[in-house]
């Protein structure tokens, strides 16, 4: 066998452990780079540790929670019902009335990418406490509160309230001059779930608390701060361009 064939042939038993070790070390070096691309770290925030448990079934607090849902459900107006139905899809365009036409789809790609990544990453932080407490929804307790198709997830904390508040707080960072109007929409997204019997008021409050904790984690992330800075620059450029017209 020639010298060339010995080099290009199969890896010997003697060299195999070294190859495996090298591959392992390369994988270890690559993992932090992949992890650092995320805004949130696994288990942070911990909704189970952060939130108080929902009212216990059969308790006076649970009865009061249900009574408020019944009152709000029966007293809603046609306009409130229409707004709640529009919000069910949780589109970012819900915030356009507060921000203005600059927030129309396609106009701010960096901002849209930031929001889409936030949307994707916060799901686990919401689902873990939901699946831990497994709270029934109002219409499962009282069939007279049924409205539209049933939900697949549990009730506490409210995903809509959490997401609506997270999106609102992030957008308020980008459009500080519109902060109050943006946060109002975020609050409405949560509360309107009570209007249609999808959540208890305590679900909504828990969602807001969880959302604030999520945003604190986001703001502590260097990756998020990098993308937020790019989105802020994009927004400022678009606003300057609009003002120059």
- Identify the band that residue 242 occupies on the pLDDT scale cut at 50, 70 and 90: confident
Residue 14 lies in a domain: no
Q: What is the pLDDT of residue 80?
A: 97
Residue 79 lies in a domain: yes
**Residues spanned by the domain of 240:** 59-244
Residue 25 lies in a domain: no
Closest CA to 171 of 93, 82, 54, 86: 93
pLDDT higher at 12 or 49: 49
pLDDT of residue 155 exceeding 70, the answer is yes
Residue 67 lies in a domain: yes
15-19, 84-88, 175-179: range with lowest mean pLDDT: 15-19
pLDDT of residue 143 exceeding 70, the answer is yes
Per the structure, the count of domains in the chain is 1
Spatial distance between the Cα atoms of 238 and 112, rounded to a whole number of angstroms = 14
Residue 165 lies in a domain: yes
pLDDT of residue 56 exceeding 50, the answer is yes
Cβ(132)–Cβ(195) below 8 Å: no
Tell me the mean pLDDT in the region 179-190: 98
DSSP 152: S
Q: What is the pLDDT of residue 54?
A: 98
pLDDT of residue 34 exceeding 70, the answer is no
Q: What is the pLDDT of residue 33?
A: 39
Asked if residue 133 has a cis previous peptide bond (ω within 30° of 0), the answer is no
Residue 15 lies in a domain: no
Burial of 180 (0-12, 13-18, 19+ CB in 10 A): exposed
Tell me the mean pLDDT in the region 212-216: 98
Residue 4 lies in a domain: no
pLDDT of residue 4 exceeding 70, the answer is no
CATH number of the domain at 193, please. 1.20.144.10
Tell me the mean pLDDT in the region 31-50: 79
pLDDT of residue 13 exceeding 90, the answer is no
Q: What is the pLDDT of residue 36?
A: 61
Burial of 52 (0-12, 13-18, 19+ CB in 10 A): exposed
């Amino acid at each position: 066998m020639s010298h060339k064939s010995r080099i290009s042939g199969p890896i010997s038993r003697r060299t195999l452990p070294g190859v495996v070790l090298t591959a392992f070390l390369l994988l270890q070096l690559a993992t932090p780079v992949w992890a650092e691309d995320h805004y949130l770290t696994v288990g942070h925030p911990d909704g189970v540790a952060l939130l108080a448990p929902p009212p216990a079934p059969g308790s006076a607090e649970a009865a009061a929670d249900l009574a408020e849902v019944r009152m709000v459900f029966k007293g809603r107006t046609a306009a409130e019902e229409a707004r709640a139905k529009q919000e069910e899809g949780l589109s970012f365009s819900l915030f356009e009335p507060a921000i203005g036409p600059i927030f129309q789809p396609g106009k701010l790609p960096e901002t849209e990418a930031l929001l889409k990544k936030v949307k994707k990453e916060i799901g686990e932080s919401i689902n873990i406490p939901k699946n831990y407490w497994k709270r029934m929804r109002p219409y499962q307790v009282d069939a007279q509160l049924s409205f539209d198709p049933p939900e697949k997830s549990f009730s506490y904390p409210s995903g809509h309230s959490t997401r609506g508040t997270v999106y609102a707080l992030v957008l308020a960072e980008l459009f500080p001059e519109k902060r109050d109007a943006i946060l109002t929409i975020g609050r409405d997204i949560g509360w309107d779930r009570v209007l249609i019997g999808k959540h208890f008021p305590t679900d909504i409050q828990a969602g807001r608390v969880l959302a604030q904790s999520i945003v604190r984690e986001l703001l502590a992330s260097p990756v998020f701060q990098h993308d937020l800075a790019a989105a802020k620059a994009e927004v400022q450029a678009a606003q300057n361009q609009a003002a120059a017209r």
